[in-house]
Amino acid sequence: MTLDPAAAVGMLTELVTQRTVSGDPKPQRSAMDAVVSVLNARTAAITVDGDRDGPHPWLLITNDAHPKAQRLMFACHVDTVPAGDLSNWQFDPFAADVENGVLRGRGTSDMKAGLVAATAAVLDAFEGGVPAALLLTSDEEIGSLGALAARHAVEECSVGAVVVPEATGNRVHLGHRGALWLDITTKGVAAHGSTPQRGESAIMKLVDVLARARDELPVATDAFLGTETFNVGLIDGGSAPNIVPDTAHVVVDHRTVGDGSELLSWWREQPEVDRVDARIDLPGVRTDGGNIWISELPHSVAREPVTYFTDASIIAAAAPGAPIVVWGPGTPALMHAADETVAIDELDAAIAAYSAVTRAWPTVD
Protein backbone atom coordinates (compact mmCIF):
# COMPACT_ATOMS: atom_id res chain seq x y z
CA MET A 1 0.00 0.00 0.00
CA THR A 2 1.47 3.31 -1.05
CA LEU A 3 0.25 6.80 -0.16
CA ASP A 4 -2.89 7.84 -1.99
CA PRO A 5 -2.81 11.31 -3.61
CA ALA A 6 -4.69 13.01 -0.77
CA ALA A 7 -2.39 11.52 1.86
CA ALA A 8 0.68 12.55 -0.14
CA VAL A 9 -0.50 16.15 -0.39
CA GLY A 10 -1.34 16.13 3.32
CA MET A 11 2.11 14.88 4.21
CA LEU A 12 3.79 17.46 1.98
CA THR A 13 1.67 20.20 3.51
CA GLU A 14 2.73 19.18 7.01
CA LEU A 15 6.40 19.10 6.05
CA VAL A 16 6.37 22.50 4.34
CA THR A 17 4.78 24.19 7.38
CA GLN A 18 7.79 23.06 9.42
CA ARG A 19 10.61 25.60 9.19
CA THR A 20 13.45 23.14 8.79
CA VAL A 21 16.20 25.64 8.05
CA SER A 22 19.72 24.23 7.92
CA GLY A 23 21.62 24.54 11.18
CA ASP A 24 18.54 24.25 13.41
CA PRO A 25 18.25 20.57 14.41
CA LYS A 26 14.96 20.70 16.35
CA PRO A 27 12.55 21.25 13.41
CA GLN A 28 14.60 18.87 11.28
CA ARG A 29 14.09 16.17 13.93
CA SER A 30 10.39 16.96 13.89
CA ALA A 31 10.24 16.47 10.12
CA MET A 32 12.01 13.12 10.43
CA ASP A 33 9.57 12.08 13.16
CA ALA A 34 6.68 12.97 10.85
CA VAL A 35 8.05 10.63 8.18
CA VAL A 36 8.52 7.80 10.67
CA SER A 37 4.98 8.38 11.94
CA VAL A 38 3.57 8.00 8.41
CA LEU A 39 5.44 4.74 7.93
CA ASN A 40 4.54 3.35 11.35
CA ALA A 41 0.88 4.11 10.77
CA ARG A 42 0.84 2.01 7.60
CA THR A 43 3.28 -0.85 8.21
CA ALA A 44 4.87 -2.59 11.16
CA ALA A 45 7.79 -3.90 9.15
CA ILE A 46 10.33 -1.11 9.73
CA THR A 47 13.55 -0.71 11.64
CA VAL A 48 14.73 2.81 12.51
CA ASP A 49 18.40 3.46 13.25
CA GLY A 50 20.31 6.69 13.47
CA ASP A 51 21.18 9.66 15.61
CA ARG A 52 18.06 11.69 16.21
CA ASP A 53 19.47 13.86 19.00
CA GLY A 54 22.86 14.83 17.61
CA PRO A 55 23.76 18.22 16.12
CA HIS A 56 23.21 16.85 12.60
CA PRO A 57 20.39 14.31 13.03
CA TRP A 58 19.87 11.43 10.62
CA LEU A 59 17.76 8.29 10.40
CA LEU A 60 18.08 5.14 8.32
CA ILE A 61 14.78 3.31 7.92
CA THR A 62 14.86 -0.26 6.62
CA ASN A 63 12.78 -3.44 6.59
CA ASP A 64 13.63 -7.02 7.47
CA ALA A 65 12.85 -8.54 4.07
CA HIS A 66 15.70 -10.46 2.45
CA PRO A 67 18.37 -9.23 4.88
CA LYS A 68 21.24 -10.47 2.69
CA ALA A 69 19.96 -8.79 -0.49
CA GLN A 70 21.14 -5.41 -1.70
CA ARG A 71 18.78 -2.57 -0.91
CA LEU A 72 17.34 0.16 -3.07
CA MET A 73 17.98 3.36 -1.14
CA PHE A 74 16.18 6.69 -1.33
CA ALA A 75 18.32 9.45 0.21
CA CYS A 76 16.47 12.60 1.28
CA HIS A 77 17.45 15.70 3.21
CA VAL A 78 14.80 17.44 5.31
CA ASP A 79 16.43 20.87 5.63
CA THR A 80 15.84 23.95 3.52
CA VAL A 81 17.54 27.26 2.92
CA PRO A 82 15.99 30.25 4.72
CA ALA A 83 13.00 32.00 3.17
CA GLY A 84 14.95 35.27 3.06
CA ASP A 85 13.24 38.63 2.66
CA LEU A 86 9.51 37.86 2.88
CA SER A 87 8.70 40.96 0.83
CA ASN A 88 10.07 39.07 -2.18
CA TRP A 89 7.40 36.39 -1.81
CA GLN A 90 3.92 36.65 -3.27
CA PHE A 91 2.62 34.27 -0.62
CA ASP A 92 3.45 33.00 2.86
CA PRO A 93 6.39 30.61 2.37
CA PHE A 94 5.19 28.38 5.21
CA ALA A 95 1.43 28.36 4.60
CA ALA A 96 1.74 25.34 2.26
CA ASP A 97 -1.47 26.23 0.45
CA VAL A 98 -2.61 24.82 -2.89
CA GLU A 99 -3.55 27.00 -5.84
CA ASN A 100 -4.33 25.80 -9.37
CA GLY A 101 -2.80 22.39 -8.78
CA VAL A 102 0.41 23.78 -7.27
CA LEU A 103 1.52 23.48 -3.65
CA ARG A 104 3.34 26.61 -2.56
CA GLY A 105 6.06 27.19 0.00
CA ARG A 106 9.71 26.95 0.97
CA GLY A 107 11.07 23.46 0.45
CA THR A 108 8.34 22.23 -1.88
CA SER A 109 10.74 21.62 -4.77
CA ASP A 110 13.90 21.34 -2.66
CA MET A 111 13.18 18.65 -1.64
CA LYS A 112 10.11 17.89 0.41
CA ALA A 113 8.07 16.75 -2.58
CA GLY A 114 10.86 14.29 -3.34
CA LEU A 115 10.85 13.18 0.29
CA VAL A 116 7.10 12.48 0.16
CA ALA A 117 7.45 10.54 -3.10
CA ALA A 118 10.33 8.52 -1.64
CA THR A 119 8.33 7.78 1.50
CA ALA A 120 5.45 6.52 -0.63
CA ALA A 121 7.76 4.28 -2.67
CA VAL A 122 9.54 2.88 0.37
CA LEU A 123 6.20 2.17 2.03
CA ASP A 124 5.16 0.27 -1.08
CA ALA A 125 8.47 -1.63 -1.03
CA PHE A 126 8.13 -2.55 2.64
CA GLU A 127 4.59 -3.81 2.12
CA GLY A 128 5.75 -5.87 -0.87
CA GLY A 129 8.74 -7.39 0.90
CA VAL A 130 11.26 -5.54 -1.26
CA PRO A 131 14.63 -4.79 0.42
CA ALA A 132 14.71 -1.01 0.56
CA ALA A 133 15.99 1.84 2.70
CA LEU A 134 15.05 5.46 3.34
CA LEU A 135 17.91 7.68 4.49
CA LEU A 136 16.84 10.97 6.12
CA THR A 137 19.56 13.57 6.57
CA SER A 138 19.89 17.08 7.95
CA ASP A 139 21.97 20.10 6.99
CA GLU A 140 22.51 19.09 3.38
CA GLU A 141 22.32 22.73 2.30
CA ILE A 142 25.37 23.66 4.38
CA GLY A 143 27.65 20.81 3.36
CA SER A 144 25.81 17.46 3.63
CA LEU A 145 26.62 17.33 7.34
CA GLY A 146 23.84 14.89 8.20
CA ALA A 147 24.89 12.55 5.41
CA LEU A 148 28.47 12.74 6.66
CA ALA A 149 27.29 11.74 10.14
CA ALA A 150 25.35 8.83 8.61
CA ARG A 151 28.14 7.63 6.35
CA HIS A 152 29.09 4.63 8.49
CA ALA A 153 25.48 3.37 8.44
CA VAL A 154 25.35 3.63 4.65
CA GLU A 155 28.61 1.67 4.44
CA GLU A 156 27.01 -1.14 6.47
CA CYS A 157 23.68 -1.13 4.60
CA SER A 158 24.51 -3.20 1.49
CA VAL A 159 23.24 -0.57 -0.93
CA GLY A 160 22.52 -1.73 -4.47
CA ALA A 161 21.37 1.57 -6.00
CA VAL A 162 20.45 5.05 -4.83
CA VAL A 163 17.80 7.59 -5.80
CA VAL A 164 18.39 11.15 -4.58
CA PRO A 165 14.96 12.79 -5.08
CA GLU A 166 16.13 16.36 -5.68
CA ALA A 167 14.15 18.60 -8.01
CA THR A 168 14.83 17.63 -11.62
CA GLY A 169 11.35 17.93 -13.13
CA ASN A 170 11.29 14.12 -12.85
CA ARG A 171 14.19 13.74 -15.30
CA VAL A 172 16.96 11.28 -14.40
CA HIS A 173 20.44 12.78 -14.01
CA LEU A 174 23.67 10.88 -13.49
CA GLY A 175 25.77 13.23 -11.41
CA HIS A 176 26.94 16.68 -10.46
CA ARG A 177 30.06 18.70 -9.79
CA GLY A 178 31.66 18.79 -6.37
CA ALA A 179 31.74 21.76 -4.02
CA LEU A 180 34.76 23.42 -2.46
CA TRP A 181 33.91 26.33 -0.16
CA LEU A 182 36.98 28.22 1.02
CA ASP A 183 37.36 30.68 3.88
CA ILE A 184 40.09 33.08 2.75
CA THR A 185 41.61 35.67 5.11
CA THR A 186 43.92 38.60 4.44
CA LYS A 187 45.79 40.53 7.13
CA GLY A 188 46.83 44.18 7.21
CA VAL A 189 48.02 46.86 9.64
CA ALA A 190 45.51 49.14 11.36
CA ALA A 191 45.94 52.92 11.24
CA HIS A 192 43.84 56.07 11.49
CA GLY A 193 41.63 56.56 8.43
CA SER A 194 43.06 60.07 7.94
CA THR A 195 46.56 58.63 7.49
CA PRO A 196 46.06 55.39 5.54
CA GLN A 197 49.66 55.46 4.39
CA ARG A 198 50.68 54.46 7.91
CA GLY A 199 48.72 51.24 7.70
CA GLU A 200 48.09 48.41 5.29
CA SER A 201 44.54 47.68 4.21
CA ALA A 202 43.48 44.03 4.43
CA ILE A 203 40.43 44.87 2.34
CA MET A 204 42.51 46.27 -0.51
CA LYS A 205 44.64 43.13 -0.39
CA LEU A 206 41.48 41.06 -0.67
CA VAL A 207 40.24 43.18 -3.58
CA ASP A 208 43.55 42.67 -5.39
CA VAL A 209 43.58 38.89 -5.01
CA LEU A 210 39.91 38.53 -5.99
CA ALA A 211 40.47 40.61 -9.12
CA ARG A 212 43.41 38.43 -10.07
CA ALA A 213 41.45 35.25 -9.37
CA ARG A 214 38.95 36.10 -12.10
CA ASP A 215 41.69 35.71 -14.71
CA GLU A 216 44.23 33.35 -13.16
CA LEU A 217 42.38 30.63 -11.24
CA PRO A 218 43.26 27.18 -12.66
CA VAL A 219 39.70 26.07 -13.42
CA ALA A 220 39.37 22.64 -15.01
CA THR A 221 36.83 21.23 -17.45
CA ASP A 222 35.34 17.74 -17.64
CA ALA A 223 33.53 16.33 -20.66
CA PHE A 224 30.49 15.34 -18.58
CA LEU A 225 30.56 17.56 -15.49
CA GLY A 226 31.46 20.77 -17.34
CA THR A 227 33.70 23.63 -16.20
CA GLU A 228 34.62 24.59 -12.67
CA THR A 229 33.18 27.86 -11.36
CA PHE A 230 34.10 30.58 -8.87
CA ASN A 231 31.63 32.63 -6.84
CA VAL A 232 32.24 35.16 -4.07
CA GLY A 233 29.42 34.34 -1.68
CA LEU A 234 30.29 36.25 1.50
CA ILE A 235 32.73 39.06 2.20
CA ASP A 236 33.50 41.13 5.28
CA GLY A 237 36.27 43.20 6.79
CA GLY A 238 37.15 46.23 8.84
CA SER A 239 35.59 47.62 12.00
CA ALA A 240 34.87 51.30 11.29
CA PRO A 241 35.02 53.74 8.36
CA ASN A 242 37.89 55.70 9.92
CA ILE A 243 40.18 52.73 10.61
CA VAL A 244 42.45 51.07 8.07
CA PRO A 245 41.21 47.45 8.23
CA ASP A 246 43.65 44.90 9.58
CA THR A 247 41.53 41.85 8.65
CA ALA A 248 39.32 40.91 5.72
CA HIS A 249 37.58 37.66 4.88
CA VAL A 250 35.76 36.08 1.98
CA VAL A 251 33.98 32.78 1.39
CA VAL A 252 34.49 31.49 -2.14
CA ASP A 253 32.25 28.79 -3.59
CA HIS A 254 33.95 26.62 -6.20
CA ARG A 255 32.02 23.91 -8.05
CA THR A 256 34.66 21.38 -8.93
CA VAL A 257 35.17 18.58 -11.45
CA GLY A 258 38.38 17.24 -9.88
CA ASP A 259 39.65 17.05 -6.31
CA GLY A 260 40.02 20.83 -5.98
CA SER A 261 43.68 20.60 -4.98
CA GLU A 262 44.90 22.98 -7.71
CA LEU A 263 42.33 25.60 -6.73
CA LEU A 264 43.25 25.29 -3.08
CA SER A 265 46.96 25.56 -3.86
CA TRP A 266 46.42 28.67 -6.00
CA TRP A 267 44.74 30.54 -3.15
CA ARG A 268 47.38 29.49 -0.64
CA GLU A 269 50.18 30.65 -2.93
CA GLN A 270 48.90 34.22 -3.32
CA PRO A 271 51.08 36.77 -1.47
CA GLU A 272 48.10 38.71 -0.10
CA VAL A 273 46.48 35.66 1.51
CA ASP A 274 47.20 34.93 5.15
CA ARG A 275 45.04 31.84 5.64
CA VAL A 276 42.83 29.45 3.65
CA ASP A 277 40.49 26.89 5.22
CA ALA A 278 38.12 24.51 3.45
CA ARG A 279 34.61 24.93 4.85
CA ILE A 280 33.12 22.32 2.50
CA ASP A 281 35.00 19.84 0.33
CA LEU A 282 32.62 17.48 -1.48
CA PRO A 283 33.64 15.42 -4.52
CA GLY A 284 31.74 15.35 -7.78
CA VAL A 285 29.50 12.41 -8.66
CA ARG A 286 29.07 10.53 -11.92
CA THR A 287 27.33 7.24 -12.71
CA ASP A 288 27.87 5.14 -15.80
CA GLY A 289 24.85 5.50 -18.05
CA GLY A 290 25.38 1.97 -19.31
CA ASN A 291 24.31 0.47 -15.99
CA ILE A 292 21.48 -2.07 -16.50
CA TRP A 293 19.38 -0.72 -13.61
CA ILE A 294 19.56 2.80 -15.03
CA SER A 295 18.64 1.62 -18.52
CA GLU A 296 15.42 0.14 -17.12
CA LEU A 297 14.25 3.23 -15.21
CA PRO A 298 10.84 4.52 -16.34
CA HIS A 299 12.19 7.91 -17.42
CA SER A 300 14.75 9.04 -19.97
CA VAL A 301 18.22 9.95 -18.77
CA ALA A 302 19.42 13.53 -19.24
CA ARG A 303 22.69 14.09 -21.05
CA GLU A 304 23.85 16.72 -18.56
CA PRO A 305 24.47 16.62 -14.79
CA VAL A 306 22.47 18.71 -12.35
CA THR A 307 24.05 22.04 -11.50
CA TYR A 308 23.89 21.75 -7.69
CA PHE A 309 25.56 19.38 -5.22
CA THR A 310 23.70 16.73 -3.23
CA ASP A 311 24.21 14.15 -0.49
CA ALA A 312 25.29 11.82 -3.30
CA SER A 313 28.83 13.14 -2.78
CA ILE A 314 28.91 11.37 0.60
CA ILE A 315 26.81 8.36 -0.38
CA ALA A 316 28.89 7.54 -3.46
CA ALA A 317 31.96 7.15 -1.28
CA ALA A 318 30.05 5.12 1.32
CA ALA A 319 28.47 2.79 -1.26
CA PRO A 320 31.12 2.41 -3.98
CA GLY A 321 29.85 0.72 -7.09
CA ALA A 322 26.19 1.46 -6.45
CA PRO A 323 24.63 3.50 -9.28
CA ILE A 324 23.28 6.84 -8.06
CA VAL A 325 20.71 8.98 -9.82
CA VAL A 326 19.44 12.46 -9.01
CA TRP A 327 15.77 12.28 -9.91
CA GLY A 328 12.73 13.92 -8.41
CA PRO A 329 9.71 16.20 -8.65
CA GLY A 330 10.12 19.96 -8.61
CA THR A 331 11.54 22.77 -10.69
CA PRO A 332 15.31 23.34 -10.42
CA ALA A 333 14.95 27.08 -11.15
CA LEU A 334 12.76 27.46 -8.04
CA MET A 335 15.28 25.89 -5.69
CA HIS A 336 16.43 28.51 -3.14
CA ALA A 337 14.25 31.13 -4.88
CA ALA A 338 11.30 33.15 -3.64
CA ASP A 339 7.85 31.80 -4.59
CA GLU A 340 9.03 28.18 -4.51
CA THR A 341 6.34 25.70 -5.55
CA VAL A 342 5.79 22.18 -6.84
CA ALA A 343 3.07 20.87 -9.14
CA ILE A 344 0.96 18.17 -7.53
CA ASP A 345 0.91 16.33 -10.86
CA GLU A 346 4.72 16.07 -10.65
CA LEU A 347 4.47 14.67 -7.13
CA ASP A 348 1.95 12.06 -8.26
CA ALA A 349 4.12 11.14 -11.24
CA ALA A 350 7.16 10.72 -9.02
CA ILE A 351 5.27 8.43 -6.65
CA ALA A 352 4.12 6.26 -9.56
CA ALA A 353 7.61 6.10 -11.09
CA TYR A 354 9.42 5.38 -7.82
CA SER A 355 6.90 2.68 -6.93
CA ALA A 356 7.44 1.05 -10.31
CA VAL A 357 11.18 1.00 -9.60
CA THR A 358 10.75 -0.55 -6.15
CA ARG A 359 8.43 -3.24 -7.52
CA ALA A 360 11.01 -4.18 -10.14
CA TRP A 361 13.82 -4.38 -7.59
CA PRO A 362 15.21 -7.94 -7.17
CA THR A 363 14.57 -9.70 -3.87
CA VAL A 364 17.14 -12.49 -4.20
CA ASP A 365 19.29 -12.97 -1.07
Active site residues: 79, 140
Return the closest-CA partner of residue 61 out of 150, 167, 166, 172: 150
